[in-house]
Amino acid sequence: MDYKKKVEKVRERAKSFYKGLDPSHDFQHCLRVKNTSLKLAESCGADKLILELSAYLHDIGRSLEEDDSSVCHAEWGAEKSKEILEESGFSEKVVERVSHCISSHRYSGGPEPKSIEAKVFSDADNLDALGAIGVSRVFSYGGSNGTPFKGDSSSLEHFEEKILELKDRMYTEKGLEMAEERTVFVERFLDRFNKEWDGKL
């Protein structure tokens, strides 16, 4: 089986894990992260195969974590990805490199990304939480969970506590450049939102 067929096998297997998730973490999120990571790879020579496989598999444990907060989706996904990749015929080296990207991508914890692919992948995943897509994802997630727009434990609080800090977590030069531009968009959106909220516009 050539590598393209093996990649497609992984992609189709991964898609089944995203059924029922809200749009902030569905399979379209994986496709966007794939596209962004491949763009970043061009600036630093990261392995695009590792990034594509990581993108498909990185959130396969998300639904488990939502059902049971004791489950870390990154840890679970990193282990499950090994099984899926091995069954799809990938080498041990590929399996380990992808597993590291997945285990180290989580915002709130886990090991630091060590490989260039893991750093690129972390940047790409964080970039999907910024800009117009990032704004859409915050409110999509909030709507699915009954989160208020503004106030304590609100969507706006999430922007302030996490989203606006993401640019400081970038590992690559190109990732930082994109993050800074997308952060400006978010800041402008929040300024407009608050003015409309207060009836000033």
Q: pLDDT at residue 1 above 70? A: no
Render pLDDT for 10-21 as a digit per residue (tens, 0 to 9).
Answer: 999 999 999 888
- Domain containing 185: what range? 3-197
Residues 6+ apart with CB under 8 A from 44: 116, 120, 172, 173, 174
CATH number at residue 136: 1.10.3210.10
> How many distinct structural domains can be found in the chain?
1
The CA–CA distances, whole Å, from 77 to 44, 50, 130, 189 equal 26, 15, 23, 34
pTM for this prediction: 0.94
Render pLDDT for 147-188 as a digit per residue (tens, 0 to 9).
Answer: 999 999 999 999 999 999 999 999 999 999 999 999 999 999
How far apart are the C-alpha atoms of 7 and 28, rounded to whole Å?
Answer: 17
Residues 6+ apart with CB under 8 A from 92: none
Render pLDDT for 56-95 as a digit per residue (tens, 0 to 9).
Answer: 999 998 887 777 777 778 788 889 999 999 999 899 999 9
Give the CA diameter of the chain: 62
pLDDT at 107: 64
